[in-house]
Structure 1
Amino acid sequence: MSLIIYIALGILYYLPALVANGSAPFVKNGTPIDFKRNFIDGRRILGDGKSFEGLLVALTFGTTVGVILSKFLGIEWIIVSFVESFFAMIGDMIGAFIKRRLGLERGARALGLDQLDFVLGATLGLFLAKIQVNIYEFLSIVIIAFVLHILTNNIAYRLKIKSVPW
């Protein structure tokens, strides 16, 4: 198979996660998933940036992509996209948890972690949904997600959707 096919399949398989991850920041001032509680180290568990409303928006948008994909890939993609979107958001929350443990506040830059936590979560979701992603598809989406994350966050900053450009 050609590299173009691997890239296209990677985008297709990870599209629900990409959309889910990109849609959550549109929610401002939601109810924090950690209920503003601190971990044993005295720092917030996740922070205000991870809200129930953001999770709901992410799951809705990611699953809607799955409804569209199901027309081409089969009805099971509705469930696959929900699972993938959910695990992408779990990956994002794990990234936030790690950032808090490192003493990084909400919005602080953590190069690599910021761009790829949701991809790793989505990969676990795809695996659990029995979707086989090969190394070329995975590496393609890692590179694409890294670049897209930087570009879209910069645009969101300029549009005043985000308070920092990363």
Structure 2
Amino acid sequence: MYLVELLLGLVYYLPAFVANGSGPMVRKGNPIDFGKNFTDGRRILGDGKTFEGLLMGLTYGTTVGVVLSFFLGIHWIVISFMESLGAMLGDMLGAFIKRRMNIPRGGRAPFLDQLDFIFGSTALGYLVGLSVTVYQFLLVVAIAFVAHVLTNIAAYRLRIKSVPW
């Protein structure tokens, strides 16, 4: 019974995982920060955060929610949209923090790189009815960490990403 509940937590976060993973598929796009610098003289987000990547993440993540709505109820379309938006905003916040720490695009920031989207998706998901247990959340955090490492290695080998992290 507990295993089923834990695994259901993973299902709840599928829109966030899909949204976060689809953004990097955009090779070139229009930067969300319009190429502008922050008050510290460094880019606000960088070239890696684009309008096209945001749109792709929202579209793919919400599409997962449409599929989930057949099993979990129509409200999952809204939850998945908000999870997807939260995942993308969490990733942008991570990029903002990395730029403030003078970490260049593609540079490593352990834990921040792997978990920013989970915290963002959880925050916005909760606003519209996402309900997960602490155990579900912790399992998702652990899986997100491992999955992020493995998928980035795969994306690097497939030449989707320029670095393996």
**Shift in Å at residue 7 of structure 1?**
2.5
User: 1:76-109 deviations in whole A, cap 9, x for unaligned?
Assistant: 1111100110011000000000000000000001
What are structure 1's unaligned runs of at least 5 residues?
Answer: none
> Hey, what does 1:88 align to over in structure 2?
87
| Paired letter, 2:158 | L
Say whether residues 1:14 and 2:20 are aligned partners.
no
Alpha-carbon distance between aligned partners in 1 of 2:98 and 2:16, rounded to the nearest angstrom: 21
Contact 1:70 1:78 in 2 (8 A): yes
Contact 2:122 2:130 in 1 (8 A): no
Alignment root-mean-square deviation, CA: 0.7
> Hey, what does 1:144 align to over in structure 2?
143
SS in 2 for 1:147: helix
> Hey, what does 2:98 align to over in structure 1?
99
Once the two structures are superposed, the pairs formed by residues 6-155 of structure 1 within 5 Å of their partners are 6-155=5-154
Contact 1:95 1:113 in 2 (8 A): yes
Alpha-carbon distance between aligned partners in 2 of 1:126 and 1:14, rounded to the nearest angstrom: 9
> Identity percentage over the alignment?
64
TM-score by length of 2: 0.98
TM-score by length of 1: 0.98
**Shift in Å at residue 9 of structure 1?**
1.5
**Shift in Å at residue 55 of structure 1?**
0.2
SS in 1 for 2:116: helix
| Paired letter, 2:161 | K
Alpha-carbon distance between aligned partners in 2 of 1:29 and 1:72, rounded to the nearest angstrom: 36
Alpha-carbon distance between aligned partners in 2 of 1:58 and 1:155, rounded to the nearest angstrom: 19
Contact 1:30 1:54 in 2 (8 A): yes
Runs of 4+ in 1 over 3 A off after TM superposition: none
**Shift in Å at residue 5 of structure 1?**
2.0
User: 1:111-143 deviations in whole A, cap 9, x for unaligned?
Assistant: 100000000000101210122111000000000
